[in-house]
Structure 1
């Protein structure tokens, strides 16, 4: 087992438009001996969002060593990776308390970001969309670059439109009206062929925060198109993912990954893990599961996984789906208490994020400027608009 630590700038929670107030926080972590070889074998890196710590962590491996990078994003929640035709993720969306940040693939520029020659993938912050505090949870890129958002506060799935904070597109049949009351705690989203396929909710209540009354066993997995419940009886489920005609779901309150047969709703346990599960990524024969420690008793009181808080861990556990057991882990020993999302970036061993706060991230500025031979096509009128001329003598 290898033990390492990082010292990183930490931001306090702040409102939109305010720069975070930097302070130093030490983040200590350790990992099992198989964690790095698995990443190297899969030739991928990970992106992990940390809600309370306000960071997106890039996790990569190269030359037998683990590499972590920390980027500041207030209350980072869901991460959506958009895949181009080549299969590489060409865009990201990162959800926050009031905004969704939109990032684009850095392309060949990634190798030139300091330190030069280290990164083979990267994302540059390009835009932010103000949603207001709708409690963004998981998100997914759909057809024609449309972003689908789990709007937890309003108990619906939403898309974005420049004229509105959000556009409600779907809600569970038992939710009778659009209201900011977090009635069922809709949270997880699985996409298929560019459309929402499955969602998870912590309950089927139609009253304000009514899901809390049956949180021990009221969780459901639902099909979006039909609005029907596929499977039920979960304890605070999260992060549904589709593979080979089945759904993998985190039965978070019980600390286990389960497989759900979509034809009859049969639930089979794949493996257990010592934490509250949020964030699930499937790649190859492995599942990468985000684990968190419980935040506070008002929400997690009475939940089975929280009965032994001293045994709970925060980090990523790697589960072999064929063997049905955990085979590796990355654990945050201090500085990070809970994770929300985990995403795989295929084909990229070390990924860097140039986010909205380069000073706090201790990054050098990065500018992307079009080459001169493209200026004419980018400026209205096609003649280049204002262009430099040779001085007259």
Structure 2
């Protein structure tokens, strides 16, 4: 596998370099491994993968190089967290104190460094302050929504303030600077928010830490009602083929929520597969679920069922990505990280590109790479 740092040297169709700089990202000591079929599967599906690690401070892009081998690009970011790709192709990311919009600046047969067919440049950097923002989504009318975990609410950007509250769970009594329930996940459907996840219903500061084993809930955005409960640190709610899927992180399970026909009845979590790790980050393509795994921080996560599941299966916890076949509930491919990096947060599918890259907002490349929109020919009269 080849790896790459934050290097942007886009080239025209004729191959002319327009940016020679190479801004190196700090590299933790890690080893990468992957299943023999992963790259062939990505090629067959016509996709690549993006994922974040706040622990390493890197945004990763996993794809295949022109020779058909695996290629991992990484860019330094400030505490990268939630990811969301929208139909326009833009990629949104929450970070330590920012929400960033990336846009692909390559078109047609343009390539960066004769390798990358997609170059995500930071085009909008909105400073929010340190809100511990988690998942992010964009509505069909372009409103950016993010889970403001520190203030227990779903928020949007403000032209003046750090954030504008949009919604809060009914059990949260006020917008206050106290992570009470650890609201973390956002499921969008048809350009609108549909469900959110929280680790508990607590309404006191840090109350969620005492409810990690079975206090997790899924909340319906429109009604504010709890539609599934008894979960263990749920994350990454996602809608797929009309079903709600979540990661029950404290048990290491990916599953869907089965809703009873009786109006007002609570849904039931139906596990589909066990993955050996603390699960965060979920994306779908066809019948495949791409699941992010982290190694548990045991001092914080003592008492979770995940520890027993790992012991019962004689397994060690992973950091990486597993590809789950939803028809069989089995892992068919995987990508693994060993070494100093043990935690991921989110992942997203990048369709239509074999080898994407990103550019860090604070890197020299972000200042030196100049791209222009097509010339429309507008101008003054020449008569």
TM-score bracket relative to the smaller structure? 0.7 to 0.9
Residue 79 (structure 1) shift: 0.9
1:288-333 Cα shifts (integer Å, max 9, x gaps)? 0000012351x31212224559711100010000111111110001
Q: Secondary structure at the match of 1:153?
A: helix
1:152 matched to 2:127? The reply is no
Distance 1:364 1:351, change over 3 A: farther
Moved more, 261-270 or 157-166: 261-270
- Confirm or deny: 8 A CA contact 2:62 2:355 kept in the other structure: yes
2:79 maps to 75
2:334 pairs with 1:329: yes
**1:143 partner SS:** coil
Preserved contact between residue 150 and residue 156 of structure 1 (Cα < 8 Å)? yes
Q: CA deviation at 1:373?
A: 4.8
What RMSD in Å do the two structures reach over aligned CA positions? 2.5
Residue aligning to 2:91: 92
- In structure 2, how many angstroms separate the alpha carbons of the residues matched to 1:374 and 1:79? 37
Taking the TM superposition and a 5 Å limit, the aligned residue runs for 1:93-242 are: 93-108=92-107, 111-116=109-114, 118-242=115-239
Deviation (angstroms), 1:369: 2.9
8 Å contact kept, 2:3–2:73:
no
Residue ranges of structure 2 left out of the alignment (5+ in a row) = 7-22, 261-265
| Corresponding residue pairs, total | 356
Contact 2:282 2:346 in 1 (8 A): yes
Whether 1:270 and 2:268 are equivalent positions in the alignment is no
SS of the residue corresponding to residue 338 of structure 1 reads: coil
- Contact between 2:4 and 2:72, CA under 8 Å: does it hold in 1? no
Please say if residues 3 and 71 of structure 2, whose CA atoms lie closer than 8 Å, have aligned partners that are also in contact.
no
TM-aligned CA deviation for residue 27 of structure 1: 3.0
Quick one: distance in 1 between partners of 2:240 and 2:259?
Answer: 11
1:204/1:21 CA distance change after superposition, 3 Å = farther
Q: Which residue of 1 aligns with 2:359?
A: 354
The TM-score, its normalising length taken from structure 2, stands at 0.86
Question: What's the secondary structure of 2:162's corresponding residue?
Answer: strand
8 Å contact from structure 2 (residues 5, 25) kept in 1: no
Q: TM-score, normalised to structure 1's length?
A: 0.84
1:366 alignment partner in structure 2: 369
Q: List runs of 5+ in structure 1 lacking aligned partners.
A: 10-19, 85-89, 377-382, 385-393
TM-superposition CA deviations, 1:139-164 (whole Å, max 9, x none): 01112211110000111000112122
For 1:354 and 1:113, locate their aligned partners in 2 and report how far apart those are by CA, in whole Å. Answer: 14
CA offset digits 1:273-295 (Å, max 9, x no partner): 11100000011110000000123
| Cα deviations by residue, 1:224-283 (Å, 9 ceiling, x for unpaired) | 101111111111000011123321110001111011123451221110011100000011
| Alignment check: 8 A CA contact 2:238 2:246 kept | yes
Q: Which 4+ runs in 1 deviate beyond 6 A?
A: none
